[in-house]
Chains A and B, each alone.
Chain A
């Protein structure tokens, strides 16, 4: 009997195709099972949330898109009686009023000046906030010196340049919202830095005054500061001198934002290791050169996310100037929604929805930016 094995017939020559993974361990079904129905409590929660979404989302979509009115020139388009159908959002109202929302009552022939201001502002923001841009020190100079001056000349007007004078009472809308936030940003950063340095100063009186100012402003609501600026500022000035109605809330916003900025910057100053201060001093640098050349560049870099968060808060808070009678974006919406020409039931909601979209885009954009910077700054620590 031949016991030798001639051919290894029991060895497969070709590889068997891999079996598909068990359907409950991989793939969409497994994902659903793991993330939505992993236990009785989770299943109930999932079903409850789904039910909630099912109830909430279709009416919103119907309101905003399906039933919405996109064209029209007056209220007839947006009233169910005259339009002959159920009416959702009245976007025609927004399209009709869009110029008022952006420029307020700024003279139509001069609106290009506002556009130039918007463009300058956008360039400045991009230059300063994009960490890859060259010469960001020049960008800071551009943003904190050139843009404010140019804005002032362009908006107010100047005889030598042939720009007609436009009183601030005609300014309004997004222009004013942007202006108030820009003034807040441009003033709060340097003031905030000075206040933060004051709070950490070794000179007792300077420290005390900084603490009093910061804690006072942070302890009261912005609206009281604005009302104070509105009613008390004129009292404190000599007779015959008056402050423009738009300047008063600007002063209030700038002071308010500085105090919050000071606390953010102080956080950065405290995070700088003591060796940096000692190293600067051992090189023979004086206080200001130590701060400007060594400490502040590092401290401000760390707190960029905090600064941007303060800007987001500031941008949202500028809506409060509408309460003291400034025609900012919210105020123009409030004024437009009671316009008899557009008297329709859904106009107010549409106006608020539009404002909501605007504020959300700006604020969410800023917060995404700050998360991005945070991640970038943290990259050095992550190994």
Chain B
């Protein structure tokens, strides 16, 4: 009978060959192996720590640090600060070099990436050579080169290189004018924030107006006027009312040293230069790939609709290229932040150098220090990729 097969129960399989049973067995074995590994490691660690008389727990964060840090954004002293504060100092230094590096690497990277696609033969060749050389050399080597070969070869402080505009370069780093703020100077950043808020509001309003009526408003010009104009107005107003709220203390060439101004550590300058030029090489490739990913038909279609070159770029090519560029660009930013840990090789006091270096050596509490440091980097990475995923979902092409 043809129906007999369908009414029969599925053939019995020996549990040994049942994929479900096998899957459960595999997972149980794996979990037990991982748990056993962790248990062995933890028990060994506990015994070893006891034998070496190393304390455990996070209490050490409140102990006095007893060492100095060459660059710190918060008040830090060997006698009065704790390991916890040393952690904050390191973290802030990492973030400082990360943020400044990201800003300049983006600019340089976009310039080089666009330069590689330029019709100008020599510009394209120079950009290509830059990208190939930078990307094929280890970052550590580049940092050492900047730090040892370039910065250490600069003149002594008493014969500093005058770059102009109050900037001096010497062995001990970069000295630049120091802004001295009046007690009413707070008005300027407040006006700047106001300008940004107003620009965003105007942009949203203009978008809604355009959707409703089709009329376009000059968002870019208005925004620029607001963001630059308001603080400038505040500055001039304060200056006219009484006196200039921001003055600059220019460094002066003394007999032996520079007087005045504010200085950047040579370690910071080397790390900044190394990270910026290195990451820019990778960003350039990301940008190039993104622009090439927009098919030629898009440009041709825009031309066929009568768009000129500039609107084609602004309305058709760049929005589509950005969709391809932004995810790898973010991972380059993360790489820059992670690579800033190479600061330890040239002695810039970043998170790894201060916390995983000095604090770890002084306290010997390897597990706690390693866990905290890794947690910081992990948090930065995971938070960024979380926002990246949201962004990706927003800009993804809607398929039918």
Contacts and interface: CB of A to CB of B under 8 A. Distances in A.
Interface of A: 35-36, 38, 42, 45-46, 49-50, 52-53, 202-206, 209, 215-216, 218-224, 227-228, 231-232, 234-239, 287, 312, 316-317, 319-320, 322-323, 330, 334, 337, 345, 348-349, 352, 355-356, 359-360, 363-364, 367
Given A205-B30, A334-B144, A53 B352 contact: no
B248 to A, nearest CB: 30
A235 B42 CA distance: 9
Contacts of A337: 148
A206 B381 CA distance: 23
Interface of chain A: mostly helix, strand, loop or mixed = helix
A322 B140 contact: yes
A238 B126 contact: no
B214 interface: no
B360 interface: yes
A239 B352 CA distance: 28
Contacts of A312: 136
B367 interface: yes
B377 A232 contact: no
A194 B40 CA distance: 24
Interface of chain B: mostly helix, strand, loop or mixed = helix
B60 to A, nearest CB: 15
B332 to A, nearest CB: 13
Interface centre among A236, A237, A320 (most CB of B within 10 A): A236
A360 B133 contact: yes
Contact of A221 (B141, B149, B338): B338
7 contacts: A50-B122, A209-B34, A215-B381, A236-B44, A319-B139, A356-B141, A359-B138
Contacts of A220: 338, 374, 377-378, 381
Contact of A363 (B30, B137, B367, B378): B137
A223 B342 contact: yes
B201 to A, nearest CB: 36
Contacts of A218: 381
Contact of A231 (B122, B360, B380): B360
Given A227-B370, A232-B366, A317-B138, A348 B148 contact: yes
Nearest to A215: B382
Given A219-B382, A223-B341, A223-B352, A238 B44 contact: yes
Interface in B332-368: 338-339, 341-342, 344-345, 352, 356, 360, 366-367
B121 interface: yes
A42 B373 contact: no
Interface stretch (B45-53, B297-305, B387-395): B45-53
A352 B148 contact: yes
B7 interface: no
Contacts of A45: 118, 120, 123
A320 B339 CA distance: 11
Contact of B373 (A203, A209, A224, A234): A224
B210 to A, nearest CB: 31
B352 A227 contact: yes
Contacts of B48: 234-235, 239
Contacts of B49: 235
Given A219-B381, A239-B47, 5 more contacts: A49-B126, A219-B377, A220-B381, A238-B44, A348-B149
Given A46-B123, A352-B149, A235 B367 contact: yes
B31 interface: yes
Nearest to B24: A203
A50 B120 CA distance: 12
Contacts of B352: 221, 223-224, 227
A360 B129 CA distance: 12
Contacts of B381: 215, 218-220
Contacts of B27: 203-206
Contact of B370 (A232, A319, A323): A232
Contacts of B34: 209
